[in-house]
Amino acid sequence: MKKLLFVFSLLFVLSCSNNKKETDLYLIETDLGDITIKLYDKTPLHKDNFEKLVKENFFEDILFHRVINNFMIQGGDPDSKNAKFGDLLGESDCGYNIPAEFNDSLFHKKGVIAAAREGDKTNLKKESSGSQFYLVQGKVFTDNQLDSLEISINNSIKEKLYKKYFSEEENKAFDNGEDINYEKIISLVNIKVKQDIDSIGKYKIPEFKRKYYRTIGGTPHLDGNYTVFGEIINGLEIVDKIASVKTDKNDRPIVDIKMKITKIK
């Protein structure tokens, strides 16, 4: 009898667990087919916000307004609902940002959903748009291409550090009323940049990510810059279909691709 009770209890727990998992599934319906996504528990702010917007029917008839083959398909601009042909889209969202939720285990492999955002110049914390998102199509990379990407990323990191320290040293000299000795500033900046790079180490794409990018594909240059908060579990081929449609000079599809998003009960 005790064994039967244990089995029943276990089945009940598993049933509850499965039901809980299903509440994280969403259906994106389009004229080109349907896509099912699941959202990650590791990004609760993005997950809860997406659920809120879906409950409010925010995404009803919103367009995939930016489509780039071998890269991604993007939507979530409320201005796209009633946009005329040729209107420039992508400048609007629901009116607020979400703090970034970066996690090294969540990266830009093909089929993930991630949050769009404003650029670094006006968004130093890399906060996400409240409503604009993209589905990654990407492409397959060779090891040589990934090696080249690592070099490019490390050069970019070095350049940003150099600009930061150069500005700090230049401003310090101005504030102190000193004559600007650029040779001295450059020497100090080079020392600081080297110390930082030696401390944090050069950026390397981990092997577990390389494996995905070599086989499934994705957009590795976006890692650590945009929050990934879910992935497609059914309908990945629909992303390929949408990504291959004809677009105008602003990457907007010539024929509107509307979406409807509902939570799967």
At 53 the pLDDT is: 98
CA proximity to 110, closest of 214, 25, 253? 214
pLDDT reading at 225 higher than 90: yes
Which of 82, 66, 33 has its CA nearest to residue 247?
Answer: 66
**C-beta of residue 170 within 8 angstroms of C-beta of residue 180:** yes
How high is the pLDDT of residue 177? 84
pLDDT > 50? residue 165: yes
38-81: pLDDT as tens digits: 999 999 999 999 999 999 999 999 999 999 999 999 999 999 99
**What's residue 10's pLDDT?**
42
Q: What is the pLDDT of residue 23?
A: 55
- Is the per-residue pLDDT at 17 higher than 70? no
What integer pLDDT is reported at residue 7 of this predicted model? Answer: 40
Residues 214-233 have a mean pLDDT of 97
Q: What is the pLDDT of residue 13?
A: 41
Scanning the chain, the segments in alpha helix (DSSP H) are 2-22, 44-55, 143-175, 182-200, 207-215, 236-243
How far apart, in whole angstroms, are the C-alpha atoms of residue 162 and residue 5?
66
120-159, pLDDT tens digit by residue?
889 999 999 999 999 999 999 999 999 999 999 999 999 9
Separation CA 143–CA 146 (nearest Å): 5
